[in-house]
């Protein structure tokens, strides 16, 4: 039986980060991955989805080019197969780079196969070259998640898809009904509707992205999707799906909608089954493996990271958790409370949010600052009329508590707010930091300037450009 200091199960964002961090600390480390390295994000999630979104955004922008180049009209149809081939080619290129990068590591042992815990220090690997039994002082579980397939859908019909299927499809759908108005559903609705595909988005709740406690953000997304021609059906339930001669008929609250395809996007579930958790005594809670700020489970030397151990399913959080888990598995002491995590929604325009989820403030001590894109010279240059930046701050100190950014480039722009909240950087410091001009990022600087001016005048009723 071969022995290792650290064994990592799973080669996605979390697992890859974990094994690299363990090796960085000098541990004799191995990683077990059955499919391609890069996990869901690279192969079946973030990267192909954003490739679709970028291309659809470009098409939408060209169709609306007359707004910035008066007199120009652009027309043309989409070749669905060519569109999806570009997506697949991009994934293949990124996958090959990731695979070759991992294969080139001489400080990491790679097993191709699936692993199962057989004890608190032992694993059995059903590998491509046979069965291997290994022992490890520490173990990191990073098995990821999978799309939920609810029982009401006739899954034998290949026109009914989850996100994995939609991103691997050879062609675009002629028309589509999306079940689930969360982040993933809204992003797919953006891509399809901007391409001129008849799109219906069904959500049981009374707003889109219902898990986010911010009705204004839901309103932003609703507005942008409606603007691209997507029909949004809130407070609506899918009662049945029937096959027709040329597609599907979906019963939504008694109304029959005919489409070529249905995309079910009602969440993802952690991959906690059939990995031997019971053999090692690892506890689960609310469908995930329970971990602390060190990504440690109830078993001291067993760690878990990424979607399998966190309800917030974001690749960047998974990577951070993997680094924390790998560091501690190799004898380190890295921690992360996972209380400050930026969230990006790649609708058009984008939405980005960050806040400290663990600190409560008296509302009387806080103030809102709002800055619409209509006041930004840079936004006017680019022809972006839709957008707003909102900061929630402590009035007396200028400490940033929460930020959300709705508009083009929002996900890129949110990181100054992330850095400020994480490191308690006050708005006065932002004001005294030179920002490039013209840029979208200088909106943050202008808001800091406004706070500083009001602070000087001892006026805490901060309300910029309501």
Query: Per the annotation, does 12 bind a ligand?
Result: no
Query: Per the annotation, does 106 bind a ligand?
Result: no
Rounded CA separation 166/56 (Å): 15
DSSP letter for 457, please: T
Query: Per the annotation, does 143 bind a ligand?
Result: yes
Query: Per the annotation, does 145 bind a ligand?
Result: yes
Cβ atoms of residues 380 and 441 within 8 Å: no
Nearest CA to 160 among 240, 232, 49, 82?
A: 240
Contact residues for 362 (Cβ-Cβ < 8 A; gap 6+): none
Query: Per the annotation, does 184 bind a ligand?
Result: yes
Measured CA distances, 89 to 45, 168, 237 (Å)? 15, 11, 37
Strand runs (DSSP E) across 76-192, as ranges?
Answer: 108-117, 122-127, 130-141, 145-147, 160-161, 175-179
Rounded CA separation 59/82 (Å): 14
Residues serving a catalytic function are 437
Helix (H) or strand (E) holding 15: helix 13-24
Rounded CA separation 335/275 (Å): 26
Q: Render the burial of 201-210: b for 16+ CB within 10 Å, e for the rest.
A: bbbeeebbbb
Query: Per the annotation, does 182 bind a ligand?
Result: yes
Nearest CA to 256 among 281, 233, 229?
A: 233
Query: Per the annotation, does 370 bind a ligand?
Result: no
Query: Per the annotation, does 186 bind a ligand?
Result: yes
Query: Per the annotation, does 50 bind a ligand?
Result: yes
Query: Per the annotation, does 181 bind a ligand?
Result: yes
Binding site listing for FAD: 50, 143-145, 307
Binding site listing: 50, 143-145, 180-187, 203, 267, 307
Binding site listing for NAD(+): 180-187, 203, 267
């Amino acid at each position: 039986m071969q022995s290792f200091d650290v064994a990592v199960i799973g080669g996605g964002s979390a697992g890859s980060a974990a094994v690299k961090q363990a090796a960085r600390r000098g541990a004799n480390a191995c990683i077990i991955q059955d499919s391609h390295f890069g996990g869901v994000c690279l192969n079946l999630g973030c990267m192909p989805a954003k490739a679709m979104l970028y291309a659809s955004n470009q098409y939408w922008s060209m169709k609306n080019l007359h707004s910035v180049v008066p007199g120009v009209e652009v027309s043309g149809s989409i070749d669905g197969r060519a569109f999806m081939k570009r997506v697949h080619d991009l994934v293949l290129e990124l996958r090959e780079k990731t695979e070759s990068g991992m294969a080139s590591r001489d400080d990491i042992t790679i097993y191709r196969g699936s692993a199962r815990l057989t004890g608190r220090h032992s694993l059995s690997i059903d590998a491509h070259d046979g069965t291997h039994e290994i022992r490890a002082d520490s173990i990191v579980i990073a098995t990821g998640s999978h799309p939920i397939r609810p029982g009401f859908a006739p899954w034998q019909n290949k026109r009914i898809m989850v996100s994995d299927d939609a991103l691997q499809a050879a062609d675009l759908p002629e028309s589509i009904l999306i079940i689930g108005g969360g982040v993933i559903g809204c992003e797919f609705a953006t891509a399809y509707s901007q391409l001129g595909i008849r799109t219906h988005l069904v959500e049981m709740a009374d707003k889109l992205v219902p898990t986010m406690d911010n009705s204004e953000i839901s309103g932003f997304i609703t507005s942008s999707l409606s603007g691209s021609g997507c029909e949004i059906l809130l407070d609506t339930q899918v009662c049945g799906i029937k096959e027709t001669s040329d597609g599907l008929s979906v019963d939504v609250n008694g109304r029959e909608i005919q489409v070529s395809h249905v995309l079910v996007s009602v969440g993802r579930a952690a991959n906690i089954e059939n990995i031997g958790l019971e053999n090692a005594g690892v506890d689960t809670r609310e469908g995930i493996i329970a971990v602390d700020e060190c990504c440690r489970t109830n078993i001291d030397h067993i760690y878990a990271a990424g979607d399998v151990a966190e309800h917030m399913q974001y690749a960047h959080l998974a990577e951070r958790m993997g680094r924390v888990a790998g560091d501690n598995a190799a004898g380190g002491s890295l921690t992360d409370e996972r209380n400050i995590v930026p969230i990006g929604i790649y609708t058009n325009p984008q939405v980005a949010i960050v806040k400290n989820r663990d600190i409560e403030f008296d509302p009387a001590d806080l103030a809102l600052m709002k800055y619409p894109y209509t006041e930004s010279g840079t936004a006017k240059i680019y022809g972006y009329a839709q957008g707003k930046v909102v900061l929630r701050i402590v009035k007396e100190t200028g400490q940033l508590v929460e930020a959300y950014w709705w508009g083009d480039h929002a996900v890129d722009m949110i990181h100054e707010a992330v850095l400020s909240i994480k490191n308690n950087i006050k708005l006065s410091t932002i004001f005294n930091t030179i920002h490039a001009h013209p840029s979208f990022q200088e909106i943050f600087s202008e808001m800091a300037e406004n706070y500083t001016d009001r602070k000087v005048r001892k006026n805490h009723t901060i309300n910029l450009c309501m």
